[in-house]
Amino acid sequence: MTELPDRRLLLVHAHPDDESINNGATMARYAAEGAHVTLVTCTLGERGEVIPPELAHLTGAALGQYRRQELAAAMAELGVRDVRLLGGAGRYSDSGMMGLPDNDDPGCFWQADVDEAAAHLVEVIREVRPQVLVTYDDDGGYGHPDHIQAHRVAMRAAELSAEAGAPVAKVYWNRVPRPVVEEAFARLHDDLPGLPFTKAAAVDDVPGVVAEERVTTVVDGTAHAAAKAAAMRAHATQVTVAEPYFVLSNELAQPILATEYYELVRGERGPGERETDLFAGVEETS
């Protein structure tokens, strides 16, 4: 096997586009610094709502394949070359929004056996040996079943990997400190008259918003803001970008955050009041 770089980061996401919105600047920064960045996407987002009218004919498997192409284009913008689909392409399908009949589809990710799905992720962990894993909190950031399941699978895989002698040194959840997002929305409201969007989302529409003291780690990705926006733009079925803002299919504007925030939930915290590097304290780990 080819020798991997000293720093190895694994991100686990539910659908194509989640990675760029949540962690695009982080991924671009670490890829540019020479770290090995691995993305595992759990579904192809076959039940996503399509924004452009000219692509509205895409549904089901056809949409999933199109979103896979969007994902490849987005990762090219971020410089990420190691992209996996959990269990292989088509293994788990999009579960739709919480409470819909789609959740009962036996092939959807929400219905997957957690240990079985985690075993697929353990294979990736044993191969790549990441020191850092990033995923969602136990609510999936905003309650989507696939996000909740991605959290469960990622956390279980970390447990199983440790039991098998391949521990992940640090596990993080995506976060956004409330004061930061409130300030960003204040700017958005000032800028809204000049934007191609007519309405703004609310602070609580942003996944992972927490009190500032919950945030342990701040990753400054401002040098990679353009790459993050380009990656988000590549997900054209799901995202419309007008930097530094974007909308999803609900047409409610949100800020694009180039500084990204995390809560360390497993592992030793690096020195200082707040970490500025996901690898703080583990850079010498093989």
Please name the residues in contact with 190: beta carbons below 8 A apart, sequence gap of 6 or more.
none
Contact 267, 172 (CB under 8 A): no
Other beta carbons within 10 angstroms of residue 268's beta carbon come to 10
**Cα separation of 270 and 259, whole Å?**
19
**Cα separation of 125 and 129, whole Å?**
5
Tell me if 204 is assigned to a ligand binding site: no
Q: How many C-alpha atoms does 26 have within 13 Å on its Cβ side?
A: 31
As given in the structure block, the two tokens for residue 97 are: 């929004």
In the block, tokens 């080819």 appear at 2
Tell me if 15 is assigned to a ligand binding site: yes
**Cα separation of 206 and 201, whole Å?**
8
Question: What is the DSSP pairing of strand 217-220 with strand 259-266?
Answer: antiparallel
Tell me if 18 is assigned to a ligand binding site: yes
What does the H/E/C string look like for 266-278? Answer: ECCCCCCCCECCC
**Using alpha carbons only, how large is the chain's radius of gyration in Å?**
18
Binding residue positions for Zn(2+):
15, 18, 147
Binding residue positions:
15, 18, 147
